[in-house]
């Protein structure tokens, strides 16, 4: 049995058994103008370590020192004042709740949580969670940390790195009908912030291939030329040992802890599903073919997916991440942050 969350007032079970995983980097992403799938896989939950929800406090009211005390080191429009520790689960894993009719507003196609918790415990009526399923939002239910409690189950088994590489459960970089994956765009937004910090303001040299497709243009646009470049490359389980100046490594899908290279270079974490897609790209057909395709030969039926435009890391996820890294207070990095805030697109 995994953990179960119950109403803190009456003890009614509010979720099916769920196991904790790392907090998704795309949790705060707004993407497109369409219905997105569930943020969490069924049977899992994650905990937001930061404050969530209103009332929102303007930057001018909080001030630089007050924001820094809460882990925000560059200007943002406003800061939340809700408690940290919100638990997020898939909508289908919720039990024992009813909608609160006068809190069901949204922007377009569903609920966006603008009025606060919109799910109440069906037994005692206490507001316990917020369902969000409007367009542009990853569908999820956020449990109020002050209204629920966790009934722990046995500690889950943590999958070792070797097994993760062997299973290679990755997210494809391109989706039908030729769109870059929003998961990849969010992951790249987070990683880009860490890459800039690791670069110390110097150009970054990347190997040929998908890694350059993802980060090359934006690093070239944001970092100055004319200085010796720092080499960045993928590192992690299943890859040959290397000693780049900057190592892009996988973050464990359950714990969120990044893989640590033995040589001790600067590390940039990537979600394991995206890192696996970069480290072990899969362009070969899964259909049974007599003899199989030769290595490095692309299939022609069905044709492999190719994107319709150049890759862009998610700008808002990038800004959110960079504002919470203390290094953003360095003048060169603050200039990049301010420039990115003014531009709708990074590149």
Domain architecture of the chain: domains with CATH: 4-49+85-151 (2.170.150), 161-342 (no CATH)
Q: Is the pLDDT of residue 284 over 90?
A: no
- Residues 204-229: b if buried by 16+ CB within 10 A, e if exposed: bbbeeebbebbbbbbbeebbeeeeee
- CA dist 112 and 70 (Å) reads 25
Q: Which pLDDT belongs to residue 335?
A: 97
For 72-105, write each residue's pLDDT tens digit: 999 999 999 999 999 999 999 999 999 999 999 9
Q: Which pLDDT belongs to residue 290?
A: 56
- CA dist 237 and 163 (Å) reads 10
CB atoms within 10 A of CB 83: 13
Q: Is the pLDDT of residue 295 over 70?
A: no
Q: Is the pLDDT of residue 286 over 60?
A: no
Q: Which pLDDT belongs to residue 308?
A: 86
Q: Is the pLDDT of residue 49 over 70?
A: yes
Q: What is the pTM of this model?
A: 0.92
pLDDT confidence of 206, banded at 50, 70, 90?
A: very high
Do the Cβ atoms of 62 and 12 come closer than 8 Å? no
Mean pLDDT lowest among 104-113, 144-153, 278-287: 278-287
Using CA atoms, how far residue 283 sits from 214, 218, 280, 303, in Å, is: 17, 25, 10, 10
- What is the pLDDT of the chain when averaged over all its residues? 93
Q: Which pLDDT belongs to residue 20?
A: 97
Q: Which pLDDT belongs to residue 285?
A: 46
Q: Is the pLDDT of residue 287 over 60?
A: no
Q: Which pLDDT belongs to residue 24?
A: 98
Question: Tokens 């970092």 map to which residue?
Answer: 223
Q: Which pLDDT belongs to residue 34?
A: 87
pLDDT confidence of 329, banded at 50, 70, 90?
A: very high
**pLDDT over 70 percentage in the chain:** 93
Q: Is the pLDDT of residue 15 over 60?
A: yes
For 22-43, write each residue's pLDDT tens digit: 999 999 999 998 899 999 999 9
- CA dist 7 and 237 (Å) reads 41
For 113-170, write each residue's pLDDT tens digit: 999 999 999 999 999 999 999 999 999 999 999 999 999 999 899 999 999 999 999 9
């Amino acid at each position: 049995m995994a953990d179960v969350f119950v109403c803190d007032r009456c003890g009614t079970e509010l979720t099916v058994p769920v196991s904790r995983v790392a907090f998704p980097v795309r949790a705060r992403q707004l993407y497109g103008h369409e219905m997105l799938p569930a943020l969490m896989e069924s049977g899992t939950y994650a905990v937001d370590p930061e404050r969530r929800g209103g009332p929102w406090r303007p930057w001018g009211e909080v001030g630089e020192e007050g924001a820094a005390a809460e882990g925000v080191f560059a200007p943002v429009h406003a800061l939340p004042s809700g408690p940290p520790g919100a638990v997020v689960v898939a909508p289908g894993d919720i039990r024992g709740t009813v909608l609160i009719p006068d809190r069901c507003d949204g922007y377009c196609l569903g609920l966006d949580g603008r009025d606060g918790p919109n799910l109440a415990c069906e037994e005692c009526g206490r507001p316990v969670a917020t369902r969000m399923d409007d367009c542009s939002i990853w569908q999820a239910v956020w449990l109020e940390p002050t209204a629920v409690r966790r009934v722990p189950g046995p500690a889950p088994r943590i999958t070792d790195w070797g097994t993760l590489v062997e299973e290679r459960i990755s997210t494809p970089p391109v989706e039908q009908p030729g769109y870059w994956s929003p998961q990849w765009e969010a992951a790249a937004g987070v990683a880009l912030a860490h890459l800039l910090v690791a670069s110390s303001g110097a150009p970054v040299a990347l190997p040929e291939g998908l890694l350059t497709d993802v980060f090359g243009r934006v690093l070239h646009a944001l970092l100055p030329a004319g200085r010796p470049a720092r080499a960045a490359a993928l590192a992690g389980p299943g890859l040959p040992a290397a000693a780049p100046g900057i190592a892009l490594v996988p973050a464990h899908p359950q714990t969120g802890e990044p893989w640590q290279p033995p040589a001790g270079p600067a590390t940039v974490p990537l979600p394991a599903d995206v890192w696996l897609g970069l480290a072990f790209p899969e362009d070969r057909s899964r259909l049974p073919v007599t003899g199989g395709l030769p290595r490095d030969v692309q299939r022609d039926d069905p044709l492999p997916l190719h994107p319709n435009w150049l890759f862009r890391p998610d700008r808002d996820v990038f800004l959110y991440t960079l504002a919470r890294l203390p290094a953003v207070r360095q003048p060169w990095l603050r200039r990049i942050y301010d420039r990115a805030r003014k531009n709708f697109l990074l590149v």
